[in-house]
Chain A
């Protein structure tokens, strides 16, 4: 089983619909992140969470919201999806408690979202 699991893996939704992408981890890491990937732009940070009660906006948070329901779960919501939110979304985790502030991140397999 994957250490960082994203569901669904693929989703097509209509403009204006609310959609939730889910992420769960079995690594016991404290920090969790949501990124989106667009061709030629690399990955850009949407939101990140230090722990259950600490949520922070990333560089492109407009149009998105998140919830850290438990240490192991971090969900991303698009309140009213629009076509330019069509992208590949990645959840990631990192362990700063044992790895320090500059430890690497571990990524899920990605969710391909298409908004039509």
Chain B
């Protein structure tokens, strides 16, 4: 079994300040982990993924995430928020013998203030 917990349902930041979105997972197998972003009225776009290579993963639009096995975490960060970062973000785990199902966290909605 696998599960994902996004610790904040809403995050509000000022433009130009750092963004931190927290994600904890549980999995009986070595997981692959993903962050997706969903802008209003849009589909989901992959930001970055971890698949057992480097633990610090860089993604698009200046985002990065660090896989910490000891803490079962995969937090997403960005040094400086931009207005266009306002969206909902999903942490996702994929693991197991079947390796076919994505399990989503509940999502974190990011508000960026001018």
- A, B from the same assembly: yes
With A41-B106, A42-B106, A58-B101 known to touch, is A90 a contact of B32 (CB < 8 Å)? Answer: no
- Return chain A residues, CB-CB under 8 Å to B34: 104
Question: Binding site of A, secondary structure by majority: helix, strand, loop or mixed?
Answer: strand
Residues of chain B at interface, number, CB under 8 A: 23
Question: Taking the complex as formed, is A20 at the interface, i.e. its CB lies under 8 A from any CB of chain B?
Answer: no
Q: Which of A43, A48, A102 has the most CB of B within 10 A?
A: A102
Residues A43 and B90 in contact, CB atoms below 8 Å apart: yes
Query: How far, in whole Å, are A11 and B12 apart by their CA atoms in the complex?
Result: 32
- Return chain A residues, CB-CB under 8 Å to B44: 43, 90, 107
Interface range on chain A (Cβ under 8 Å from partner): 20 to 34
Query: How far, in whole Å, are A102 and B106 apart by their CA atoms in the complex?
Result: 21
Residues A102 and B43 in contact, CB atoms below 8 Å apart: no
With A48-B101, A102-B32, A102-B51 known to touch, is A40 a contact of B43 (CB < 8 Å)? Answer: no
Question: Taking the complex as formed, is B102 at the interface, i.e. its CB lies under 8 A from any CB of chain A?
Answer: yes
Residues B43 and A45 in contact, CB atoms below 8 Å apart: no
Residues B104 and A102 in contact, CB atoms below 8 Å apart: no
Which residue of chain A is the closest to B102 with respect to CB atoms? A105
